[in-house]
Chains A and B, each alone.
Chain A
Protein backbone atom coordinates (compact mmCIF):
# COMPACT_ATOMS: atom_id res chain seq x y z
CA UNK A 1 0.00 0.00 0.00
CA UNK A 2 2.61 2.50 1.06
CA UNK A 3 4.86 1.73 -1.89
CA UNK A 4 1.86 2.09 -4.24
CA UNK A 5 0.99 5.42 -2.69
CA UNK A 6 4.54 6.73 -3.02
CA UNK A 7 4.69 5.71 -6.66
CA UNK A 8 1.38 7.33 -7.59
CA UNK A 9 2.25 10.43 -5.54
CA UNK A 10 5.48 10.83 -7.51
CA UNK A 11 3.67 10.29 -10.82
CA UNK A 12 0.92 12.79 -9.90
CA UNK A 13 3.44 15.43 -8.81
CA UNK A 14 5.42 15.08 -12.01
CA UNK A 15 2.20 15.32 -14.05
CA UNK A 16 1.03 18.45 -12.24
CA UNK A 17 4.42 20.18 -12.55
CA UNK A 18 4.66 19.32 -16.23
CA UNK A 19 1.12 20.67 -16.71
CA UNK A 20 2.11 24.12 -15.52
CA UNK A 21 5.50 24.17 -17.25
CA UNK A 22 4.87 22.51 -20.61
CA UNK A 23 5.25 24.41 -23.84
CA UNK A 24 2.61 22.47 -25.70
CA UNK A 25 -0.93 22.94 -24.42
CA UNK A 26 -2.26 19.61 -25.67
CA UNK A 27 0.56 17.83 -23.84
CA UNK A 28 -0.54 19.81 -20.78
CA UNK A 29 -4.02 18.31 -21.04
CA UNK A 30 -2.49 14.83 -21.26
CA UNK A 31 -0.36 15.48 -18.17
CA UNK A 32 -3.58 16.52 -16.42
CA UNK A 33 -4.96 13.07 -17.33
CA UNK A 34 -1.97 11.51 -15.55
CA UNK A 35 -2.61 13.54 -12.40
CA UNK A 36 -6.35 12.88 -12.31
CA UNK A 37 -5.92 9.18 -12.99
CA UNK A 38 -3.34 8.97 -10.22
CA UNK A 39 -5.82 10.46 -7.79
CA UNK A 40 -8.40 7.87 -8.92
CA UNK A 41 -5.88 5.17 -7.99
CA UNK A 42 -5.37 6.86 -4.64
CA UNK A 43 -9.14 6.82 -4.02
CA UNK A 44 -9.13 3.08 -4.70
CA UNK A 45 -6.44 2.43 -2.11
CA UNK A 46 -8.11 4.90 0.29
CA UNK A 47 -11.23 2.71 0.39
CA UNK A 48 -13.37 5.08 -1.70
CA UNK A 49 -14.32 2.85 -4.60
CA UNK A 50 -17.32 4.77 -5.91
CA UNK A 51 -15.53 8.11 -5.82
CA UNK A 52 -12.66 6.54 -7.77
CA UNK A 53 -14.93 5.41 -10.61
CA UNK A 54 -16.77 8.73 -10.63
CA UNK A 55 -13.38 10.40 -10.91
CA UNK A 56 -12.45 8.23 -13.89
CA UNK A 57 -15.79 8.77 -15.62
CA UNK A 58 -16.25 12.49 -15.01
CA UNK A 59 -12.71 13.82 -14.99
CA UNK A 60 -10.74 11.52 -17.22
CA UNK A 61 -13.70 10.83 -19.47
CA UNK A 62 -15.62 14.08 -19.78
CA UNK A 63 -13.61 16.99 -18.41
CA UNK A 64 -10.47 16.22 -20.41
CA UNK A 65 -12.45 15.90 -23.64
CA UNK A 66 -14.08 19.25 -22.89
CA UNK A 67 -10.69 20.85 -22.21
CA UNK A 68 -9.19 19.41 -25.39
CA UNK A 69 -12.12 20.81 -27.36
CA UNK A 70 -11.56 24.15 -25.67
CA UNK A 71 -7.87 24.07 -26.62
CA UNK A 72 -8.57 23.14 -30.20
CA UNK A 73 -11.32 25.71 -30.70
CA UNK A 74 -9.05 28.49 -29.46
CA UNK A 75 -5.77 28.67 -31.32
CA UNK A 76 -3.05 29.40 -28.82
CA UNK A 77 0.54 30.44 -29.37
CA UNK A 78 3.12 27.76 -28.55
CA UNK A 79 6.28 28.50 -26.60
CA UNK A 80 7.34 29.37 -23.12
CA UNK A 81 7.48 33.16 -23.40
CA UNK A 82 4.07 33.26 -24.99
CA UNK A 83 2.57 31.01 -22.33
CA UNK A 84 3.93 32.50 -19.12
CA UNK A 85 3.30 36.05 -18.08
CA UNK A 86 5.74 38.30 -16.28
CA UNK A 87 4.45 37.27 -12.84
CA UNK A 88 6.38 34.02 -12.85
CA UNK A 89 8.75 34.83 -10.01
CA UNK A 90 5.93 36.18 -7.90
CA UNK A 91 3.80 33.12 -8.61
CA UNK A 92 6.68 30.83 -7.68
CA UNK A 93 7.11 32.76 -4.43
CA UNK A 94 3.41 32.57 -3.52
CA UNK A 95 2.98 28.90 -4.33
CA UNK A 96 6.28 27.86 -2.76
CA UNK A 97 5.49 29.83 0.40
CA UNK A 98 2.02 28.31 0.58
CA UNK A 99 3.42 24.81 0.14
CA UNK A 100 6.08 25.26 2.81
CA UNK A 101 3.71 26.82 5.35
CA UNK A 102 0.84 24.39 4.84
CA UNK A 103 3.05 21.29 4.78
CA UNK A 104 4.89 22.29 7.96
CA UNK A 105 1.64 23.09 9.77
CA UNK A 106 -0.11 19.92 8.62
CA UNK A 107 2.94 17.74 9.31
CA UNK A 108 3.06 18.90 12.92
CA UNK A 109 -0.71 18.83 13.44
CA UNK A 110 -1.18 15.24 12.26
CA UNK A 111 2.01 13.71 13.61
CA UNK A 112 1.56 10.00 14.26
CA UNK A 113 -1.96 9.70 12.81
CA UNK A 114 -2.20 6.73 10.47
CA UNK A 115 -4.84 5.59 8.04
CA UNK A 116 -5.62 1.91 8.40
CA UNK A 117 -6.11 0.76 4.82
CA UNK A 118 -6.33 -2.96 5.47
CA UNK A 119 -10.04 -2.89 6.31
CA UNK A 120 -12.95 -3.39 3.97
CA UNK A 121 -13.84 -0.83 1.33
CA UNK A 122 -16.62 1.59 2.16
CA UNK A 123 -19.46 0.11 0.18
CA UNK A 124 -21.23 2.03 -2.55
CA UNK A 125 -24.52 1.08 -0.87
CA UNK A 126 -23.55 3.03 2.27
CA UNK A 127 -22.54 6.01 0.15
CA UNK A 128 -25.85 5.89 -1.71
CA UNK A 129 -27.77 5.69 1.55
CA UNK A 130 -25.93 8.71 2.92
CA UNK A 131 -26.46 10.61 -0.32
CA UNK A 132 -30.18 9.95 -0.48
CA UNK A 133 -31.11 10.30 3.20
CA UNK A 134 -29.01 12.79 5.08
CA UNK A 135 -27.73 14.71 2.06
CA UNK A 136 -30.76 14.51 -0.20
CA UNK A 137 -31.47 18.26 -0.16
CA UNK A 138 -27.89 19.30 -1.07
CA UNK A 139 -27.94 16.58 -3.71
CA UNK A 140 -31.03 18.05 -5.36
CA UNK A 141 -29.63 21.57 -5.12
CA UNK A 142 -26.41 20.42 -6.79
CA UNK A 143 -28.38 18.81 -9.60
CA UNK A 144 -30.34 22.02 -10.19
CA UNK A 145 -27.04 23.95 -10.13
CA UNK A 146 -25.56 21.60 -12.71
CA UNK A 147 -28.59 21.99 -14.96
CA UNK A 148 -28.49 25.78 -14.67
CA UNK A 149 -24.75 25.87 -15.37
CA UNK A 150 -25.04 23.69 -18.46
CA UNK A 151 -27.96 25.67 -19.86
CA UNK A 152 -25.98 28.84 -19.18
CA UNK A 153 -22.94 27.40 -20.95
CA UNK A 154 -24.99 26.52 -24.01
CA UNK A 155 -26.55 30.00 -24.11
CA UNK A 156 -23.14 31.68 -23.72
CA UNK A 157 -21.40 29.62 -26.38
CA UNK A 158 -24.06 29.50 -29.09
CA UNK A 159 -23.81 31.84 -32.03
CA UNK A 160 -26.48 34.54 -32.03
Chain B
Protein backbone atom coordinates (compact mmCIF):
# COMPACT_ATOMS: atom_id res chain seq x y z
CA UNK B 1 0.00 0.00 0.00
CA UNK B 2 1.50 3.38 -0.91
CA UNK B 3 2.26 5.38 2.21
CA UNK B 4 1.08 8.55 0.46
CA UNK B 5 -2.52 7.44 0.84
CA UNK B 6 -2.10 7.32 4.60
CA UNK B 7 -0.33 10.69 4.63
CA UNK B 8 -3.12 12.19 2.53
CA UNK B 9 -5.74 10.84 4.94
CA UNK B 10 -3.94 12.16 7.99
CA UNK B 11 -3.32 15.60 6.52
CA UNK B 12 -6.99 15.78 5.57
CA UNK B 13 -8.04 14.88 9.11
CA UNK B 14 -5.61 17.44 10.51
CA UNK B 15 -6.99 20.15 8.23
CA UNK B 16 -10.56 19.30 9.20
CA UNK B 17 -9.54 19.52 12.86
CA UNK B 18 -8.01 22.96 12.30
CA UNK B 19 -11.22 24.08 10.60
CA UNK B 20 -13.21 22.86 13.57
CA UNK B 21 -10.99 24.66 16.07
CA UNK B 22 -11.12 27.93 14.15
CA UNK B 23 -14.74 28.00 13.00
CA UNK B 24 -16.79 26.38 15.72
CA UNK B 25 -18.14 28.29 18.66
CA UNK B 26 -18.92 25.56 21.14
CA UNK B 27 -15.96 24.70 23.38
CA UNK B 28 -16.82 20.98 23.48
CA UNK B 29 -16.78 20.77 19.67
CA UNK B 30 -13.39 22.52 19.75
CA UNK B 31 -12.12 19.79 22.09
CA UNK B 32 -13.48 17.14 19.71
CA UNK B 33 -11.67 18.77 16.79
CA UNK B 34 -8.44 18.68 18.80
CA UNK B 35 -9.01 14.95 19.26
CA UNK B 36 -9.35 14.57 15.48
CA UNK B 37 -6.02 16.39 14.99
CA UNK B 38 -4.27 14.20 17.56
CA UNK B 39 -5.72 11.16 15.85
CA UNK B 40 -4.23 12.28 12.54
CA UNK B 41 -0.82 12.42 14.22
CA UNK B 42 -1.23 8.93 15.68
CA UNK B 43 -2.14 7.56 12.25
CA UNK B 44 1.09 9.02 10.90
CA UNK B 45 3.18 7.50 13.68
CA UNK B 46 1.71 4.03 13.22
CA UNK B 47 2.09 4.21 9.43
CA UNK B 48 5.75 5.18 9.67
CA UNK B 49 6.33 2.45 12.21
CA UNK B 50 4.99 -0.03 9.65
CA UNK B 51 6.96 1.59 6.80
CA UNK B 52 10.32 1.48 8.54
CA UNK B 53 9.71 -1.99 10.02
CA UNK B 54 10.92 -0.45 13.22
CA UNK B 55 11.61 -3.27 15.67
CA UNK B 56 12.20 -0.82 18.51
CA UNK B 57 8.53 0.16 18.17
CA UNK B 58 9.23 3.87 18.60
CA UNK B 59 6.24 4.87 16.49
CA UNK B 60 3.78 2.75 18.41
CA UNK B 61 5.23 3.72 21.80
CA UNK B 62 4.79 7.39 20.92
CA UNK B 63 1.27 6.66 19.69
CA UNK B 64 0.45 5.25 23.13
CA UNK B 65 1.97 8.30 24.82
CA UNK B 66 -0.10 10.63 22.63
CA UNK B 67 -3.29 8.71 23.44
CA UNK B 68 -2.53 9.06 27.17
CA UNK B 69 -1.76 12.76 26.93
CA UNK B 70 -4.89 13.33 24.84
CA UNK B 71 -6.96 11.74 27.61
CA UNK B 72 -5.32 13.98 30.23
CA UNK B 73 -5.83 17.06 28.07
CA UNK B 74 -9.47 16.22 27.50
CA UNK B 75 -10.11 15.71 31.21
CA UNK B 76 -8.65 19.07 32.17
CA UNK B 77 -10.28 20.78 29.18
CA UNK B 78 -13.74 19.49 30.02
CA UNK B 79 -13.29 20.46 33.66
CA UNK B 80 -12.47 24.00 32.56
CA UNK B 81 -15.45 24.06 30.17
CA UNK B 82 -17.81 22.94 32.93
CA UNK B 83 -16.34 25.53 35.29
CA UNK B 84 -16.83 28.27 32.71
CA UNK B 85 -20.40 27.11 32.11
CA UNK B 86 -21.12 27.19 35.83
CA UNK B 87 -19.76 30.71 36.22
CA UNK B 88 -21.03 32.33 33.02
CA UNK B 89 -23.79 29.98 31.74
CA UNK B 90 -22.21 29.78 28.31
CA UNK B 91 -19.71 27.54 26.56
CA UNK B 92 -19.29 29.81 23.56
CA UNK B 93 -15.60 30.57 23.23
CA UNK B 94 -16.42 33.93 21.64
CA UNK B 95 -18.00 35.17 24.85
CA UNK B 96 -15.21 33.99 27.12
CA UNK B 97 -12.95 36.93 26.39
CA UNK B 98 -12.08 38.11 29.88
CA UNK B 99 -8.36 37.51 29.42
CA UNK B 100 -8.25 38.91 25.89
CA UNK B 101 -6.10 41.98 25.59
Binding site for B on A (CB under 8 A): 1-2, 5-6, 9, 12-13, 16-17, 19-20, 25, 28-29, 32, 35-36, 39, 42-43, 46-48, 50-51, 54-55, 58-59, 62-63, 66-67, 69-71, 73-74, 76, 82-85, 87-88, 90-92, 94-96, 98-99, 102-103, 106-107, 110-117, 119, 122, 126-127, 130-131, 134-135, 138-139, 142-143, 145-146, 149-150, 152-154, 156-157
Contacts and interface: CB of A to CB of B under 8 A. Distances in A.
Given A111-B4, A149-B73, A92 B19 contact: yes
Contacts of A55: 42, 67
Given A87-B23, A115-B47, A98 B67 contact: no
Nearest to A48: B46
Interface string B45-65: 011011101011110110111
A39 B82 contact: no
A47 B2 CA distance: 15
Given A63-B74, A117-B1, 11 more contacts: A9-B5, A16-B12, A48-B49, A48-B63, A54-B64, A85-B23, A85-B24, A114-B2, A114-B3, A131-B61, A153-B78
Contacts, number: 247
A96 B56 CA distance: 36
Size category of the B interface is 35 or more
Interface of B: 1-9, 11-20, 22-29, 31-33, 35-36, 39, 42-43, 46-47, 49-51, 53, 55-58, 60-61, 63-65, 67-76, 78-83, 85, 91, 94
Given A35-B36, A91-B22, A126 B76 contact: no
Given A5-B1, A25-B29, A32-B32, A127 B9 contact: no
